[in-house]
Structure 1
Amino acid sequence: MAEPTPESSRSSLEQPWPVRVVSQRIGEWIGRLGWVWVDGQIAQISRRPGASTVFLTLRDPSADLSLTVTTNRDVLDRNAPNLAEGARVVIHAKPAFYPARGTLSLRADDVRQVGLGELLARIEQLRKLLRAEGLFDPDRKRRPPFLPRRVGVITGRGSAAERDVAAVSQRRWPAVQLRVVNVPVQGPTAVPQIIEALRMLDSDDGVDVIILARGGGSVEDLLPFSDEALCRAVFAARTPVVTAIGHESDSPLVDFVADLRAATPTDAAKRVVPDLAEETRLVVTGRQRIRRAVAGLVDREQHRLDAYRSRPVLARPQVLVSARAEETTAWRDRARRCLGHRLDAAADELRHTHARLRALSPAATMARGYAVVQRGDGRVVLDSDEVTAGDSLRIRLAVGDLHATVDATRPATAD
């Protein structure tokens, strides 16, 4: 079969490409990437005696991915003589595809081990980034449940942290259930397996809280717990996460993202699992306080009732009625005397007025022999000049009246 050329048509069922051509094309595409700087963690170093080539396995600390790296022994001896498994490195390499084996590897001409200072600087830069994104926000942190049914524990296999959490939890609350997932807590495979264990426990509806625990160690040993992928996985978890990483002075980034940070694995168990004896004591103490409070309240109210009952108005209720009856009688007598006095005064005034009225009345004057002379139109005659002879007059006496006719008039004469 003829070799395909770039101008030839694409492969088809009728014109398939040979394996060598496919391998050649893959190598060409990979070779276009060129030289690149790669950051990773050394998972394995293979130094063959007498060989000038050293084989490295470079692993991504945040994912279950790795690549094979080949380099010259002189490159390592010159730039990283003390390179060991688990170290963080930055290499300058070019990807290469080997058609004979169908494998991909990196050919490195420079390998530089990342120092502790640079790692801490990266962690500090990542800390600022995560804080700016709100992963450290205290308002989003959740409180662990008061009495968890099942506690998920992520820790190293057979570690002191696992024993401490289990022993303290069983001693404090024997009925609590632990679901322990053992994972590597340092090294190149720690972060992916911790993330997977976290996702598995978070998807379990029976797990109420998750403890991520690890004992003490160096700064390099605790680097997986400052990994960005792990921090984001803890932030995305639906279940509250409690961290107990290293000692009190250690502060990996996952501590700031977790819902609760404990100083040690023992402290984490104490914060998550309540103490049965202590809670029982608190219940007994609370009941005693409630009993004393209720008894005190009843005593105070009884004293108050006794004080009310001892008052005269309640001890002898008729006293109040009798006092009011006497007061009512006094007011009634006073009103009667006042009214009688006013009636007597009014009667005397009426008699005096009647006497004055009778004294001033014309009838009294006529009773002494006087009479009132009126003309026919009813006007009283006061002067003889007011009538003439022949006028009819009415003379009113004390008793009855007279009708007369004027015969003659006589003017008044001076005495």
Structure 2
Amino acid sequence: MPTLRDATQEAPAPVRAVANAVSQWIEQLGGVWVEGQLAQISRRPGINTVFMTLRDTVADISVPLTCQRTLFDSLNPPLVEGASVVVHARPSFYANRGTFSLYARQISMVGLGELLARIERRRQLLAAEGLFAPELKRDLPFLPGRVGLITAPNSAAERDVLENARRRWPGVEFEVAYAAMQGTRSAAEVMEALDRLDRNPAVDVIVIARGGGSVEDLLPFSDEAMIRAVHKVTTPVVSAIGHEPDSPLLDLVADIRASTPTDAAKLIVPDMAEEVRGVLWARDRVRQVVGQMVAREQTRLDDLRARPVMRDPRTILDVRSDEVTELRERARRHLSHRLDRAADDIGHQRARAQSLSPLATLQRGYAVVQDDSGQVVTTVGSITAKQKLSIRVVDGRINTTVSNIEEGDPDE
């Protein structure tokens, strides 16, 4: 028989050679420590081997797992489906059937403390990626048109959400998507229901609800794949898992955390009775405010109408007419006074001018003597006998001839 390295198209290796080679290569791996979640535990009568499936907690990958019945029965507490375990196993390849499996030599359940530590490490990792950031949280609609509900069929959580929501708002509509709320298939079924409801444009909010339970029962709601699925959806998600002390990672990635399914019903829809009371209070308040506003404006109108000018608009005209008449009389008196003062001033100025006029001097009996050349005679020395002179008096001139000249003061 040729070796696998020597196999050619003309001289191929048989199937058994390939299977045996793969089996020998896998057996060289030796024992390995593996962590996973148990599913499909089968204890067949009369067979000393227990058959199980070890499922990866994040990826959709699983491998067959077998162990001796004595090992399986010696475990306390006993193994159940959905339990998280750490297995020391030897990989093996069954050549006759071409199947791969793990043969467990040691199985230990992951304790509560270890579970919580693993969940905390997972929380820190997801928080570092920003999946729990507060700015990513979306507000719930005030009155959703349709609510998506993911829960177990005929469960108390389903009744709590439906009954309390319809009691608060009778017209609310629900689209219920059933899924396992614990066990190995819980995370996958919840993610499938979540995706279906998120793709429905009529669903405005999604509620994931189940009752309380142990940490092991609530493990699917700390599943990394589920957390990432909730982070990706576009519809607001309400987490209503367990009771108040329970806090799976789903509470951190959801947009709103409800302490119980009943609390979730209170969060997703308003209380119609309370809203009616609010509307009645708002209506009464509006009526009161409008009444006060109307009363205030009516008072202002009454005050305006009570004013004399509003009672008789002609009153203001009469008052203004009297003011105009008084102002006109004052203007006349002032102008007359100014004119009188101006006339007196003119008279004084005229009198002064007249007092300085030569005619005024002539009117007092004085005369002006001029010689034949028109020069005013001021002294007797400037004239001679027989000289012709002109004497100006107030009402005319006198032409005369000098007959005699006397020197000296005539009054002497």
Residue 43 of structure 1 is matched in structure 2 by: 39
Residue 284 of structure 2 is matched in structure 1 by: 288
Query: Quick one: distance in 1 between partners of 2:117 and 2:238?
Result: 26
Query: Quick one: distance in 1 between partners of 2:369 and 2:93?
Result: 164
Residue 4 of structure 2 is matched in structure 1 by: 5
- CA deviations over 1:300-335 (Å, ceiling 9, x no partner): 212221121112221222222222222222222222
- CA deviations over 1:263-285 (Å, ceiling 9, x no partner): 21122122212334443443344
- TM-score if structure 2 supplies the norm length? 0.84
Q: Which moved more, 1:326-335 or 1:346-355?
A: 326-335
Q: How does 1:247-326 map to 2 (within 5 A)?
A: 247-326=243-322
Query: Quick one: distance in 1 between partners of 2:307 and 2:279?
Result: 42
Residue 54 of structure 1 and its aligned partner are, at CA, apart by 3.8
Question: Letter of the aligned partner of 1:114 in structure 2?
Answer: V
Residue 139 of structure 1 and its aligned partner are, at CA, apart by 2.0
Query: Quick one: distance in 2 between partners of 1:173 and 1:246?
Result: 24
Q: Percent identity?
A: 52
Pair 1:84 & 2:87 matched: no
Alpha carbons 2:92, 2:103 under 8 Å: kept:
yes
Judged with a 3 Å threshold, the aligned counterparts in structure 2 of structure 1 residues 157 and 54 are, in CA distance, closer, same or farther, namely same
Alpha carbons 2:367, 2:391 under 8 Å: kept:
no
Judged with a 3 Å threshold, the aligned counterparts in structure 2 of structure 1 residues 74 and 346 are, in CA distance, closer, same or farther, namely same
Q: Which moved more, 1:252-261 or 1:297-306?
A: 297-306
- CA deviations over 1:28-63 (Å, ceiling 9, x no partner): 665576543221112244456776544332122344
Pair 1:364 & 2:360 matched: yes
Q: Secondary structure at the match of 1:57?
A: strand
Alpha carbons 2:144, 2:204 under 8 Å: kept:
yes
Residue 124 of structure 1 is matched in structure 2 by: 120
Query: Quick one: distance in 2 between partners of 1:386 and 1:160?
Result: 158
- TM-score if structure 1 supplies the norm length? 0.84
Query: Quick one: distance in 2 between partners of 1:215 and 1:250?
Result: 10
Alpha carbons 2:4, 2:17 under 8 Å: kept:
no
Judged with a 3 Å threshold, the aligned counterparts in structure 2 of structure 1 residues 271 and 413 are, in CA distance, closer, same or farther, namely same
Residue 109 of structure 1 is matched in structure 2 by: 105
Residue 18 of structure 1 and its aligned partner are, at CA, apart by 3.1
Aligned with residue 159 of structure 2, among 156, 163, 175 = 163
Query: Quick one: distance in 2 between partners of 1:248 and 1:320?
Result: 79
How many residues are matched?
408
**Structure 2: which 5+ runs fail to align?**
none
Residue 214 of structure 1 is matched in structure 2 by: 210
Pair 1:93 & 2:92 matched: no
Query: Quick one: distance in 2 between partners of 1:394 and 1:34?
Result: 173
Residue 333 of structure 1 is matched in structure 2 by: 329
Alpha carbons 1:23, 1:99 under 8 Å: kept:
yes
Residue 404 of structure 1 and its aligned partner are, at CA, apart by 11
Query: Quick one: distance in 2 between partners of 1:131 and 1:123?
Result: 12
Q: How does 1:345-356 map to 2 (within 5 A)?
A: 345-356=341-352
Residue 104 of structure 1 and its aligned partner are, at CA, apart by 1.1
Q: How does 1:180-219 map to 2 (within 5 A)?
A: 180-219=176-215
Q: Aligned-residue CA RMSD in angstroms?
A: 3.7
Q: Secondary structure at the match of 1:269?
A: helix
Alpha carbons 2:41, 2:53 under 8 Å: kept:
yes
Question: Letter of the aligned partner of 2:235 in structure 1?
Answer: T
**Structure 1: which 5+ runs fail to align?**
none
Q: Secondary structure at the match of 2:153?
A: coil
